[in-house]
Amino acid sequence: MSRATLVVLSGISFAGKSTLATALGAALPATVISLDEINAERGIHGGDGIPVDEWVTTNGIARERAAAFLAAGITVVIDDTTSRRFLRDEWRSLAESVGTRSILVWVVIAPDAQRQRVEFNRREQNRRDVIDTVMAEHLSTFESPEEDEGALVVDSALPIEQQVAIVAASLDA
């Protein structure tokens, strides 16, 4: 990869986006911007359900941070569901505004596998939970990337090394 790139992850909760973001951050190298971490800095947790205006603020903070890194020539990985088309469009516009490229990576997971991850997390508490009502709304309103968005599809069932290799190969192309 020869120049800074904005890598935007998309996918439902518990698809494996944060795992992929961390691995990409190390492999590329890149700075990872996690919207969940920004929310935590702000003392809120999206898995409990937060008002839309709080998400707007969090997205604004993430965009400011990403713009600064990209302008400095540093590749950025956005760790978020980017569950709506307009959010993905805003990330593409940001990359264009700073004169760099972007790639959308759609991390897909089978519904049964996603539910197993949620249940496992509730037992092991590896990360904060997403309560059932918030998860149900998230799943029912998630807008899958459309063909014209040119998303690179990565199956979360693949070993993480393969997922990273798929994204890295796309960036080198």
> Residue 126 is part of which domain span?
5-172
Number of domains in the chain: 1
pLDDT of residue 73: 95
pLDDT of residue 2: 54
Torsion of CA 39, 23, 163, 124, to 10 degrees: -60
Beta strands 31-34 and 5-10, pairing class: unpaired
- Map tokens 């991390």 to a residue: 107
CATH number of the domain at 44, please: 3.40.50.300
58 pLDDT above the threshold of 60: yes
Quick: pLDDT tens for 88-141.
999 999 999 999 999 999 999 999 999 999 899 889 988 888 898 988 888 899
Beta bridge partners of residue 33, listed in sequence order: 78
1 pLDDT above the threshold of 60: no
Confidence of residue 147 (pLDDT cuts 50, 70, 90): very high
Torsion of CA 142, 133, 155, 103, to 10 degrees: 40
Bigger pLDDT: 166 vs 122:
166
Q: In the predicted model, what is the mean pLDDT of residues 53-69?
A: 95
173 pLDDT above the threshold of 80: no
- Residue 94, classified by CB atoms within 10 Å of its CB into exposed (0-12), middle (13-18) or buried (19+), is buried
Quick: pLDDT tens for 23-55.
999 999 999 999 999 999 999 988 888 888 998
pTM of the model: 0.94
